[in-house]
């Protein structure tokens, strides 16, 4: 005779989760919460409620994504005793209000990147996080690429001195989903909801990776942005695009190293290409998200006739995060980063250790993005005619 398992929410010590938002990121985070206990020895979670504005659509999404129920009232959800974690996957203009309210309600909070739409909002969120932390309530910003095994390995190699003193780092994040000028208007193209375009969406990941890999703060920024298509078809006709389509920047770091940054939603042929190159006094590293299980490593200490980039297939149990997944040699995908992110957050809650990246880390990234936009608002130096 088989004894049925109790409902997850009825198991003592279970942490009830609410996800706010059910579109792209809400789906990715839902997948993570559904799978985290299957692969990581973390506290048990229950997918309690999925929250969205459209009752019909959020109910359908809740059924498909494995949630016990759905709701259109996030304030009511924050009052519930069976909700311990609030995961915010909404457009950026809602992050601050939702996160601050959840923290004040005593809920642990995970917020999708970027932390907010402005430095001022991010500062308010950090203040709320610090106050909540004193009460044992934790918060984290969702830079999921920190959980890519190849990039976690790269960070370990850099901190272990395998590339020597880092002098240059190049980060580009290129996509092409807006290259077609007929692509429809969306909330991501409105400053009121998105805050910025490629800067907040893509450069936030790029800037965070500079800090994550090097542990070296940015001290100055020189940048420029561009909007290639200024109008898009919306439900009521053409609408103005009020955010950037692409951005370029030079970042000077506290150590003296220099980072170059390029992000674009107009890079035809690039689907989701986060490329990182690190150049140090003893070697170099290369990574491309479109080959996310591989890390290229150059060791200048071997004899010249043996020098050259070697490919590390980051799939061994000894590699970061891989011990919780499949046998050696079996690759992971983009979606696995969110599951590993959820596991790290749960482990931090369980141990009482502040999770990383913190809201303070998110604020640091926000300040770099703001400096990039401020620099871009200033006219460059004109080149005299020939």
Strand partners of residue 15? 45
Average pLDDT on 323-339 reads 97
**pLDDT greater than 80 at residue 8:** no
**Each residue of 339-351: pLDDT tens digit?**
999 999 999 999 9
Instruction: Give CA–CA dist 47/181, Å, rounded.
Output: 39
**pLDDT greater than 60 at residue 3:** no
Q: Give this prediction's pTM.
A: 0.95
**Each residue of 112-150: pLDDT tens digit?**
999 999 999 999 999 999 999 999 999 999 999 999 999
pLDDT at position 346: 98
pLDDT at position 102: 98
SS3 82: coil
**pLDDT greater than 70 at residue 207:** yes
Q: What is the DSSP annotation of 11-73?
A: STTPEEEEEE--SHHHHHHHHHHHHHHHHS----EEEEEEE-S-HHHHHHHHHHHT-SEEES-
Model confidence at 9, pLDDT cuts 50, 70, 90, reads low
**pLDDT greater than 50 at residue 312:** yes
Model confidence at 12, pLDDT cuts 50, 70, 90, reads confident
What are φ and ψ of residue 155, in 5° steps? Answer: -60, -40
Assess contact for 146 and 156: CB atoms under 8 A: no
- What domains appear along the chain, each with residue ranges and CATH number? 13-144 (3.40.50.720), 149-291+293-332 (3.30.360.10)
Gyration radius of the chain over CA positions: 22
**pLDDT greater than 80 at residue 7:** no
């Amino acid at each position: 005779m088989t004894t049925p398992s109790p409902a997850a929410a009825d198991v003592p010590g279970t942490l009830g989760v609410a996800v706010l938002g059910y579109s792209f990121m809400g789906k990715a985070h839902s997948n993570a919460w559904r799978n985290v206990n299957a692969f990581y020895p973390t506290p048990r979670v229950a997918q309690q409620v999925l929250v969205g504005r459209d009752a019909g659509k959020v109910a359908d999404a809740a059924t498909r994504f494995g949630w016990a129920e759905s709701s259109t009232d996030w304030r009511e959800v924050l009052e519930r005793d069976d909700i311990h974690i609030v995961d915010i996957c909404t457009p950026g203009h809602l992050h601050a209000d939702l996160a601050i309210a959840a923290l004040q309600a005593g809920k642990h909070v995970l917020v999708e990147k970027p932390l907010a739409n402005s430095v001022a909002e991010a500062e308010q969120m950090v203040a709320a996080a610090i106050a909540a932390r004193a009460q044992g309530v934790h918060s984290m910003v969702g830079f999921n690429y920190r959980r890519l095994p190849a990039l976690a390995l790269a960070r370990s190699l850099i901190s272990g001195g395998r590339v020597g003193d880092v002098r240059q780092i190049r980060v580009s994040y290129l996509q092409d989903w807006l290259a077609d000028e007929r692509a429809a208007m969306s909330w991501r193209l409105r400053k009121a909801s998105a805050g910025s375009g490629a800067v907040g969406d893509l450069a936030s990941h790029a800037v965070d990776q500079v800090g994550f890999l090097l542990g070296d703060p940015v001290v100055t920024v020189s940048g420029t942005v561009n909007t290639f298509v200024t109008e898009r078809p919306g439900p009521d006709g053409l609408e103005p695009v009020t955010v950037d389509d692409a951005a370029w920047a030079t970042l000077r770091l506290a150590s003296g190293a220099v980072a170059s940054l390029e992000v674009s939603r107009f890079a035809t042929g690039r689907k989701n290409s986060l490329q990182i190159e690190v150049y140090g006094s003893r070697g170099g590293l290369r990574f491309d998200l479109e080959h996310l299980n591989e890390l290229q490593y150059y060791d200048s200490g071997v004899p010249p006739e043996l020098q050259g980039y070697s490919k590390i297939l980051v799939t061994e149990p000894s590699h970061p995060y891989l011990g919780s997944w499949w046998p050696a040699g079996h690759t992971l995908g983009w979606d696995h980063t969110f599951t590993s992110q959820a596991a790290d957050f749960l482990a931090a809650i369980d141990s009482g250790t502040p999770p990383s990246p913190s809201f303070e880390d998110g604020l640091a990234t926000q300040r770099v993005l703001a400096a990039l936009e401020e620099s871009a608002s200033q006219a460059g130096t004109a080149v005299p005619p020939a």
